[in-house]
Each structure stands twice: as structure tokens, then as C-alpha cells.
Amino acid sequence: MKRLDVAIVGAGAAGIAAGRYLAASGLDVLLVEATDRIGGRAHTAFHEGLHFDLGCGWLHSADRNGWASLAPELGFHLDRTTPPWGVQFRDLGFPAADQRAARAAFARFEQRLREASSGSDRASDLLDGNDRWTPYLEALSTYINGTELEQLSVRDYLAYADAETAVNWRVTEGYGSLIAAAAKDVPVALNTAITGIDASGHALRLTSVRGEIEAECVIVTTPTDVLASGAIRLPPRASDHIDAAGALPLGLADKIIFKLSDCDGFEPDTQVLGNPYVKRTASYHIRPFGRPLIEGFVGGETAREFEADGDAFAAFARDELAGLFGHGIRSRLEPIAQSRWGRQPFSRGSYSHALPGHALARAILASDVDGRLFFAGEACSALDFSTAHGAFQTGLAAARAVLNSRRA
Ligand SMILES: Cc1cc2nc3c(=O)[nH]c(=O)nc-3n(C[C@H](O)[C@H](O)[C@H](O)COP(=O)(O)OP(=O)(O)OC[C@H]3O[C@@H](n4cnc5c(N)ncnc54)[C@H](O)[C@@H]3O)c2cc1C
């Protein structure tokens, strides 16, 4: 068995960012990936000449996003079309005055969160029970955080940095394709799930379904729900990391992609919310990039419900769209793909949020064990958690920490 300088567990955004940096620094590095695909929660899928992202799609904080900087170098194109969020296409089912009222309710709620930063850390405690927009706020939370406000730490939510830049771009060829392409010069072992890391010897010893791997240092980038499940036996000194991962569970967000047989009447890059007056509703991105597609998006308990029930998401989305666009749209919609991130055994969800009272868990998860076992991944990011660029930064941070530790 050859001893590696660094083994990186997981070939998602964080692992790839770390792998590129360490390989370019001349280290003998291996990305060890459980599935048969590079990218993790970044996944561009293809259907009859069309492509779409089933995981991350938006380069948030694009003006300081590591993937945006890398895209031109890798031959990818950035699309700077303004996101359609928050504007209902033709005010369908959501009159302009109500859209203004709903936005104002969201602003009031965020103001209450900021004012309560020294009080309750449970976001649902800051809801105003008399506000008619409470279901709307709950629905937004399931999209943004992947979870209901009941499960959301106020302090963690407020720490998220994107609101300050609010620049959102896309990759024409797909965010998932860009992230996978970034791994091109990094050795990868696919179909190699790691089941244990032993730190009792001089080198770290990883047990995988395909045999053992030895490495001087290891960077673990697996999603928090994978870590918290005990699927990887970690050294006893990493028990705080496992607890931290448990306090940073993955919320759920899923997409359904419909092919539109006829685009007449649908303007490119517009959006509708299925029903702004209830929590159990989906948001629909109409004709992303002008393509003949509609991308439906749900989160939280609604996403969980649809994952459990075969065609429920497609039927629900068809009903909501028919309610807005008329019965005729039904025959123009062909479901061509659907994500079920909670059912992927090596993802187990979509993006992390901190449970009330646990905003500090991110710093614990991001700390190293004895200068040779390191952690990265979106959940380790203090300010850009839940995103692919946050994952990128944590991968780089872990790679730099590995180099520093080897020099010490
Ligand atoms: C529906 C959806 C929409 C999203 N939208 C956006 C968006 O618009 N913008 C944005 O920035 N972010 C978005 N995200 C979040 C973004 O995709 C993630 O934050 C990011 O991709 C996470 O990268 P990561 O490297 O931390 O983890 P992952 O991508 O999950 O990588 C971890 C890797 O570890 C592997 N692994 C797990 N267990 C093992 C094991 N035992 N052994 C070996 N390998 C293992 C996994 O297979 C995976 O490849 C979205 C996510 C979803 C699901």
C-alpha cells in the first residue's frame, strides 16, 4: 500500500477545491468518492440535448465566488441575467399589491430576527401569529434554509453573508459541470466509500469498501448527515466533530424539471410562486436560459413528503401550474427529471442549517484534529454555508492548513 500525502474523502465542491490546490502544490493526493460521479450536491444532468442543474444552480455572492473566478479559465461561460426571484410572472395569482405586502412582511420578519439576536435563537419564535404572510415566510424558509423556521437558529441565519453582496450569476454549461471539470488534474477513486479512519498509528489509515488507504493527512468533506450517521468511524478525538455535524443537519430542497412542448406565452427567466398564501407550495423558474423547461423547487417538509411518494411532486406541480396558466398547460408539461437528495445515501439532504442554539457548531466542525485530520464542506463555512462557493472556500482553507501543518 502506497502512502499518500493527503486523502480527501468526498469529491464535491470542497474536496475538489482542496484537491486542486494540493495537487498543484506537488503533493500526492487522492480524492476518494463513494459514488460513481464527481460533484456531490453539484450535478448537471442531461436530457435529449438539454441540460439543467439538479443541485446548485446559482453562483451566489458571484462577485467574490471562487467558482466564478475559475469558470473562464476552464472554458465555462458565466450568465449574468438578473434572477427572477420575488417577481411573479404577470402577477398571476399574486396581485402586485400582495407581492409588495409579502415582501414587506419578510423585511419585518428579518428585522425582528436582527433585533432578537440576544434573545431566542429559534426563528419561529419571532413569527407574528397575526400576520397573514406567516405561511409565505414559512415557505420561503424551506427554500432558503431547506427547513422550517422551528428548526432554524436565528444567529446562524443572520451570519449568512450573501445578503451583503446579492450578486447571483449562473454557468451556461451548468454549475455541476463546472465543478466536475475543476477536478480534471486531480486523481480520483470513484465507488470507494470510506467506512472508517484510524488515527492510532503514525499514518492515518482509511478503510474503504475497496480496501485500505494510508495517508499522512486526511480532509473529510462528507455532508453533515453522513458524518452524524456514523457511516464513517472517526477517531475518538473527533467526537466533538460528530456532535457538531449533528447540530448542523441538512435541510431538504428538491427540484423537478419539466420539458415544455410549446414555449408560447412563457417569457424566458421568469418565475411564479405556486400559491403565495400557503406554506405547501412550489416555486417555478420558467424557461431558465430561455430553454424549453420549467424548474419546480420545494423545500422542507413538502420536499420530504414528495420524496416519499413517487409521482406526487409532478402531479402537485402540474396542478399548481394549471391553476395559474390554465388547464391547457398540462399537456405541454413532460417531467424529465426530479431530485431526491434526502434519498441519496451519500448526501442525505440538500444543505446545512444550524439548529437553534448551535450556531457555534460550524467553527467546531471546521477545526482540525491533531494537525492531520481536517474537515471541509459547506457546513464548515462561517459565512457562506449551504453554498457551493462556501464549500470551495472551506476546501481551500483545509488545503492550506494541511500545507502549514506539514511545514511545522
Ligand atoms: C436542490 C439544491 C439546490 C442548491 N442550490 C444551490 C445554489 O443555487 N447555489 C449554491 O451555491 N449552492 C446550492 N446548493 C448547495 C450546494 O450544492 C452545496 O452546498 C455544495 O455543493 C456542497 O458541496 P460539499 O463539497 O460541501 O458537499 P458535497 O457536494 O455533498 O460533497 C461531498 C461528497 O462526499 C461524498 N461522500 C459521502 N460519504 C462518503 C464516504 N463515506 N466516502 C467517500 N465519499 C463520500 C459524496 O458522495 C459527495 O460527492 C444546492 C443544493 C441542492 C441540493
Which atom belonging to ligand 1 lies closest to the Cα atom of 344? 47
Which atom belonging to ligand 1 lies closest to the Cα atom of 193? 42
Q: Are residues 232 and 358 in the same domain?
A: yes
Residue 408's pLDDT band (cuts 50, 70, 90):
confident
Give yes or no for residue 27 CB within 6 A of ligand 1. Answer: no
Give yes or no for residue 9 CB within 6 A of ligand 1. Answer: yes
Quick check: is 214 in a domain? Answer: yes
Residue 60: what pLDDT? 95
348: closest CA among 179, 224, 209? 224
Please say if the pLDDT value at position 250 is more than 70: yes
Give yes or no for residue 316 CB within 6 A of ligand 1. Answer: no
The mean per-residue pLDDT over the stretch 280-299 comes to 98
Give yes or no for residue 378 CB within 6 A of ligand 1. Answer: yes
pLDDT in tens, 160-189: 976 656 899 999 999 999 999 999 999 999
Domain that holds residue 157: 90-165
Sequence-separated (6 or more) residues with CB below 8 Å from residue 107: none
CA of 40 from ligand 1 middle (Å) equals 4
pLDDT in tens, 185-204: 999 999 999 999 999 999 99
DSSP 143-174: HHTSS-GGG-BHHHHHH--HHHH---BEETT-
Q: Where is the domain boundary, 120, 141, 165?
A: 165
Give yes or no for residue 193 CB within 6 A of ligand 1. Answer: yes
- CA dihedral over 373, 377, 380, 384, signed as positive or negative: positive
Q: Where is the domain boundary, 145, 165, 185?
A: 165
CA of 42 from ligand 1 middle (Å) equals 6
Sequence-separated (6 or more) residues with CB below 8 Å from residue 78: 59, 62, 68, 71, 72, 169, 170, 171, 172
Give yes or no for residue 13 CB within 6 A of ligand 1. Answer: yes
Quick check: is 282 in a domain? Answer: no
Q: Are residues 141 and 183 in the same domain?
A: no
pLDDT in tens, 115-152: 986 789 999 999 998 999 999 999 999 999 999 999 99
CA of 259 from ligand 1 middle (Å) equals 25
Quick check: is 339 in a domain? Answer: no
The mean per-residue pLDDT over the stretch 266-275 comes to 98
Contact 3, 216 (CB under 8 A): yes
Q: Are residues 148 and 207 in the same domain?
A: no
Buried b (16+ CB within 10 A) or exposed e, 208-245: beeeebbbbbbbbbbbbbbbbeebbebbeebeebbbbb
Q: Are residues 229 and 364 in the same domain?
A: yes
Share of the chain above pLDDT 70, in %: 99
Quick check: is 116 in a domain? Answer: yes
Quick check: is 182 in a domain? Answer: yes
Structural domain count of the chain: 2
Q: Are residues 364 and 243 in the same domain?
A: yes
Residue 1's pLDDT band (cuts 50, 70, 90):
low
Quick check: is 66 in a domain? Answer: no
Give, for ligand 1, the residue of 52, 56, 218 to mutate: max count of ligand atoms closer than 8 Å to Cβ: 56
Domain containing residue 28: CATH number: 3.50.50.60
Give, for ligand 1, the residue of 20, 41, 298 to mutate: max count of ligand atoms closer than 8 Å to Cβ: 41
84: closest CA among 266, 258, 268? 268
- CA dihedral over 375, 379, 385, 390, signed as positive or negative: positive
Contact 220, 10 (CB under 8 A): yes
15: closest CA among 408, 398, 406? 398
107: closest CA among 51, 163, 67? 163
Give yes or no for residue 67 CB within 6 A of ligand 1. Answer: no
Please say if the pLDDT value at position 2 is more than 80: no
Residue 163: what pLDDT? 63
Quick check: is 298 in a domain? Answer: no
- CA dihedral over 133, 354, 170, 173, signed as positive or negative: negative
Give yes or no for residue 227 CB within 6 A of ligand 1. Answer: no
Please say if the pLDDT value at position 217 is more than 70: yes
Quick check: is 212 in a domain? Answer: yes
Helix-strand-coil split of the chain, %, nearest 5: 40, 20, 40
Give yes or no for residue 60 CB within 6 A of ligand 1. Answer: yes
pLDDT in tens, 24-80: 999 999 999 999 999 999 999 999 999 999 999 999 999 999 999 999 999 999 999
Q: Are residues 238 and 184 in the same domain?
A: yes
CA 334 to chain CA centroid, Å, is 26
The mean per-residue pLDDT over the stretch 254-281 comes to 97
The mean per-residue pLDDT over the stretch 251-255 comes to 98
Which atom belonging to ligand 1 lies closest to the Cα atom of 38? 49
Q: Are residues 151 and 199 in the same domain?
A: no
Give yes or no for residue 65 CB within 6 A of ligand 1. Answer: no
Give yes or no for residue 393 CB within 6 A of ligand 1. Answer: no
Residue 393: exposure state from Cβ atoms within 10 A (0-12, 13-18, ≥19): buried
- Give the three-class secondary structure for 337: strand
Give yes or no for residue 32 CB within 6 A of ligand 1. Answer: yes
Give yes or no for residue 57 CB within 6 A of ligand 1. Answer: yes
Q: Are residues 230 and 100 in the same domain?
A: no
Residue 164: what pLDDT? 57
Which atom belonging to ligand 1 lies closest to the Cα atom of 57? 8
What's the mean per-residue pLDDT of the chain?
A: 96
Q: Are residues 197 and 245 in the same domain?
A: yes
Q: Are residues 154 and 27 in the same domain?
A: no
Q: Where is the domain boundary, 119, 143, 165?
A: 165
Q: Are residues 132 and 180 in the same domain?
A: no
Angle, CA of 227, 232 and 235, to the nearest 5°: 95
For atom 48 of ligand 1, which residue has the closest CA? 40
Q: Are residues 239 and 368 in the same domain?
A: yes
